[in-house]
Structures are given as structure tokens and as C-alpha cells.
Copies of this chain bind each other. A is one copy, B any other.
């Protein structure tokens, strides 16, 4: 089979290494994993690597624009592969679960806000904090 991830890495000028492919594979299964989560997933797969290396790989992938880094308040940085579309996140304040949210406005969500004079908006980070279905209090 062809390796689309490998091709993707080459396109961005990055070398194709086993560690990077493994991290990308983990992010396919865990779409909102943090650095420690990626490391644990790799360890479960039998790969021996260090948390620092995971940080290193994630940093490279982020710099190359292959993954996106976002930091929910009160949580470690998380990484995801969904880029290009500017979607939001719903974070459960009870269990920490993260879900994607597509804004109905479309690609440029909430960009219609009154930005300060001269401010150039590069990206909008929108996070909804609340309770997911599993953690919703019994009514």
C-alpha cells in the first residue's frame, strides 16, 4: 500500500521516520490526544520512545502545519490532525473529554467580531466548556 502520511511528510520537507508515522497513526485513533496520551498509546503498541521525543515530534509536525496544537484551559496541550477547516472544540469540565464542533457559520467562525483597530486576525480559537452527555447531572 502507499503511505499517504509518508508522502505528506516529504511534501513538507520533513524526513519520513518511524516515530513520526507512529505519532500520526496515534492521532488518527485519538483525535485529541495530549503529549502524554500519545506517548502512552505508543507504549501500548510496543514502541519504545520517550515523552520528550513525542514532544519533539509533535513540535515538528506542528511547525510544519501537519497537526494543530490547541490548549484547553486547565489542561495540557492537545494535538489534532484536522486542519484547514476551522472547527471548534467542546471540552467536558468533568471528564475532560474533547469533541469537535463544526460552527454553523462555516469556515471563518465568529470572525465577524469587532476586532481592535488594526488587528489582523490569523486564527480563532473557540472552546465550549460544559458537561458532556455522560457527565450531565441527573435531573
CB distance from A120 to the nearest CB of B (A): 5
Copies held by the complex: 2
B residues near A70, Cβ cutoff 8 Å = 73
A93 — which chain B residues lie within 8 A by C-beta? Answer: 122
Stretch at the interface among A8-16, A26-34, A37-45, A99-107: A99-107
Number of interface residues of A (CB under 8 A): 42
Interface-located stretch among A17-25, A53-61, A129-137: A129-137
Asked if A109 CB lies within 8 Å of chain B CBs, one says yes
Do B136 and A130 touch across chains, with their CB atoms under 8 A apart? no
Which B residues are in CB contact (< 8 Å) with A109? Answer: 110, 113
**How close is A8's CB to chain B, nearest CB, in angstroms?**
24
Q: Which of A84-125 contact B (CB under 8 A)?
A: 88, 90, 92-93, 99, 101-105, 109-110, 112-125
B101 touches A120 (CB 8 A): no
